[in-house]
A and B are shown apart, each in its own frame.
Chain A
Amino acid sequence: MNNLTPQQVNELANYFSAISSKIGDYRIQQFSHLTPQQNEEIKEKQNLILNYADEMYTLSATLILDDVKTSLQAISNVSNQIIGTYKSLKNIQKAIDVATSVVTLGAAITSKNPQAITNSVSNLVAIWSEK
């Protein structure tokens, strides 16, 4: 089964499902003509085929993992590059904000105002620490 593609397994599941549907319809239409034993036998066979079809749909869904691994990695790589570019562009504003804070700090130092110096240093540290 592992040599089949997800699409092939899905197709098999569709065939099994279609067959079990026909069997189910037959049992319902012919119910009055069937003996209890015949009815039970047909019902059991239908259930088995339904179980196989159900398992095949699930198996098909899990088999896709091998097919998508490369694409998952490719998109993850692109997403990481996008994040890198985004951070670089965000850092430009950070650089402007840091420059502003440095100018303000310089003025505070030359004005010899202790409170202004403290505020400017705190501001600069806060901007620099922002992610």
Chain B
Amino acid sequence: MKADHHHVAVIGGGVAGLTAVDALAGWGVQVSLFEKTSILGGHAVQLNCKATDACVKCGACVAADKLWRATRHANVDFHTDTEIEEIAGQLPYRIRYRSHRSGQSRSAAIQADAILVTTGFSPYDPSEKPYGYGQFENVITSLDAERLLRENTLIRRPSDGQPARRMAFIQCVGSRDARLGHDWCSKICCASSMRMARLIQSRQPDTQITFFYIDVQTFGKDFQCFYQIARENFSMIRAIPCDIFRTAADDLEVIYFDPHDKASKEAFFDVVVLSIGLVPGRDNADMARMLGLPLDASGFMHPGGDDRRAWPAGVYTAGAATGPMTIAESVSSAEKSVFDIVRYLGVG
């Protein structure tokens, strides 16, 4: 691969950023990847494979694959534990960054002919919801559940280590929520939770699983089939609970309004999983300001695309920074942006 003299900065080392790094490096461009945490792969790489007897196409392995591919190129430099301090100049952009690696704080700068922002999303913090997150140990988020599964391959009650026999998933926590001003669907939570629930049942077959939901979104090419199996194995309650209490026996009491019987009811669980939504990255506002990028009404970045009025030249966005999306969509989004960048740089 002959070297090119262009230098592209990719800000954010999740699946979109890594996909872009791999694609750009393949075109001979020099790439610098900046990641504020110490690990590459973002949220996607923390997810478990959800296969039971066959792959369910969740994409978790794709994230790992993109990480592996990105690290094979010679013309890429990685900067983890690094924050962007300032982006100045017109073109080329001068990016000043601060690295916190090995406990030492050091500042440096590079020049970039193009910038791709792939800073991803922030998971919604459900502490403000009346579900006792942060007070009741056995109320966990979907990300907490991923960690538990990764460490133990089973879900055990955080409070006493007993296997969780009765589990509830509460969907749309922080999404489709007018009171919060979150007027969007986070897209991935129906897929993610249902696949996780099937995985849990395949490992702990006597686990009873209840889904509290508003609507079930479509996922995968075989959705109707998967949904049918899900409905046979889960208790589906089309209501969102209003309260959770902890009983004296350390059960979780979930209060909800049953749509069938038109009555308030309670159900008891060992563990409640809150399917938290994807909200705009905490750094979105800062990054947008640094680059002169617009944010949409919800606080996500615009994807840019073909309609790029009042958009700074050479600056692109991709992935979940622009809105909730699946791993497959993040890969596509990054590839589309790389196409734009390669065109813009006149490389291809």
Q: Do A and B come together as binding partners?
A: no
